[in-house]
Structure 1
Amino acid sequence: MAETLLHRQRTHRPQPPRPPARPGSLLGGLVRTARPRQWIKNVLVVAAPAAAGRLFAPHAPVRLALVFALFTACSAAVYLVNDARDAEADRAHPAKRHRPVAAGQVPASLAYAVGGALAALAPLAAARLTTPAVAVLLAAYLAMQLAYCLTLKHVLVLDLVVVTTGFLMRATAGGLALGIPLSRWFLITTGFGALFMVAAKRYSEAVQMAGRAGATRALLTEYTTGYLRFVWQLAAGVAVLGYCLWALEDGDAAQTGVLPWRQLSVVAFVLAVLRYAVFADRGAAGEPEEVVLHDRALALIALAWLALYGLAVSGC
C-alpha cells in the first residue's frame, strides 16, 4: 500500500517548467520556419529573362538577385504567419508537430511579429529598389498567400489556383523587373506547368494518406484521386502544347542558328514532363524539390533541355 502511494506521488510529481529557448536555437527556429528548402522555388524569377535571352544583360543579374531576395522574404513571412496560426493543429500532426512554432521553440507571437515585419518591408523595399510593377506584384502575392492561409486553402479548386498563381507570379516577376514583355506562350506553359506540379503534389498526398484520415491537409478528403489525376494530366498536356506552339511558331523565321534548336528542345521538354509524370503516377511527387534534385535521369534531361533552350534563345 505504502509502495503504491509512493509510486503515485512520484508519477504525479509536477514537471519543471520548460527552459526558455536559447537565442541561437530561437534564431535557428525562425530560419527553419521560413522553410529554406522551399527557397529554390524563387529561382523562377529568372524564367522570363531566360526565355527572352536577357539573363546576362547589363544589371540583370543584380536586379534578379534582388527580386529573388524579396520573394524569399515574402515567402518567409507567409510561412511564419501560417505556422503561428496553425500551431495548435500542427501539434496533433505526426510530422508537423516538430515545426518550431508547434514544438514551442519559437513563440507564436514572435512568428507573427517577424512575419508581419517582413510582409510590410518587402513591398516597400521593392518600390524603392526595383520597379512599381514588382512592388505591386509582391503586395498582391502577399495578400493572396495570406488569404490562402486564413481561408482559401479550405476551398476546393481555389486552393490549387492560388498555389499555381503564386508560381506564375514568381515567373513573371523577373520580366517585370527588367521591363521584358511576357509572351502568351510563356504564360501558358509556365502557368499550366505549375498547375501540373501542384496537382501532382496533391495527388501524391492523397494517395499516401489513403486510409489515414487526418494525417495531412483536411481538404484532401474532399478531393478524389481520380479528379486530381485528371487535373495533373490535363495541365501536363496543355503545358506541352503551349511549349510546342512556341517552338514551332513562325516556322523557318524562328530558326536563326545552325540547327532548329527550338524544335529540338521540344524533345527534352516532353521527356522531362513524362519523367516527372512517372513519380506523379506512383504518388511519389509529394515533395517536388526532392524529385527534381534527386532523380539523376530527370536532372540529365533538364540539363539537356537547358542547353537546347539556351542555344535557341541565343540564336546560335
Structure 2
Amino acid sequence: MAEMESGAGNPNYVVAPAPTDPPPPQLTHSRRPILSFPTRPAVRVTTEFDSESAVFFNKISCKFLDSLAKLKFSFHNNSKGDISEPQISFVSKNLSLHYDLEDHNALVKSSIDVGPRFQLKAAHDVKAQQGEVAMVANLANPGYALELSTAVPSVGLPKATFRFPVGEVSLQEKEEEEVNNNLLSVSGILKGRFLNGVCTAQYKDDDLKLGYCYKDDELSFHPVFSLPSNALTFAFKRQLGPSDKLSYWYNCDSNYWSAVYKHTYGKDFKFKAGYDSEVRLGWASLWVGDEGGKAKTAPMKMKVQFMLQVPQDDIKSSALMFRVKKRWDI
C-alpha cells in the first residue's frame, strides 16, 4: 500500500524530468557611433516691450556644463532698430562676469567656500578700479554669523556685521567732515513676536523706525513710526473674498494716501484699480499671466499688462499703456 501511495507500482505514474539549468544569456554587441557630438544646450529668448518708453528689452541665454553655468546676452533697441546697453554675462555658482560692450567695463563677482563654515566673497569694478572683499563665518549655533567686509582699495576699518536669529547689528567707520574725524556708526534691525504679530526696530543714520505687523487669513495691519521725525504711516489690507482684496496706505505726516482694489480670475488673470493722492492719479490695469511669476509659467509663455492712467487734474491727458513679455525656448 505504501508503494501504491508513493506511485512506485502504479502504471499511470509518470516521473517528472529533472530540472535543467537555463541556457546562458547570449551576448549582444551594441553598435556605438564612431563620432559622437554633445547635444546643443537649450536657448531661451525673452523679449519685453513697454509702450511708455517704446523700447524693447531682449535677452538671449543658455545653460551649459550640465546647467552649472549660464551665458547671457542682453540689449535694448527702439522702433528704429538702434541697439543700446549691450551686455554679456557669464554666471555660475562661484563666479559671475558682466561685461558692458558700450562702456568697455566689467563687473566681476566671486564666492568661494573656505571650509564648512567660512565663505569668501569679492566684487570688483574694472573701470572704476574699486571693489569689495568680505569674509562670512557661520558660527556653531544655527542662525548666527559674523561678516567682515572692506572696500578695495581700503579707506578705513572693515565693516563688521553680526547676524543672529532675531536680527543683525553692524559697526562701520564713518567719516565726519565737520569734525574732521572718523566716528563709529552703528546700524541694525531687531525682530520679535508680540500679540500674534511681529515687532520690528530698525536703526540707521540716526533714524529709528518702529513697526508692527499683524497678519491673518483675512486681515493685515502694518503701522510704522519714525524717530526723530515723528512720522507715522500705516498699511491696511483686507481680504474681501477668495478673489477680492483691498489695500490702503496712509501717511499721517503728509496726509497722502493710496488705495488699491484687486480681483483675480483664476491664476493667470488679475484686475487691479487704484488711486494715489500724492500724484493725483487714478489707474486700472489688467494682467494676463501671473503678475509676479515668470513668463515660463504663463499661457503661451507670454505676459501682458494693460494700464489706463487718468490724472485727476487733466482727464483729457489720460493714457492707455501696455507691457508685453514673451519667451521662446529654442
Q: TM-score, normalised by structure 1?
A: 0.23
- Compare CA radii of gyration and give the structure with the larger one: 2
Q: TM-score, normalised by structure 2?
A: 0.22
Quick one: higher RCO (CA 8 Å, sep 6+), 1 or 2? 1
Structure with the largest fraction of helix: 1
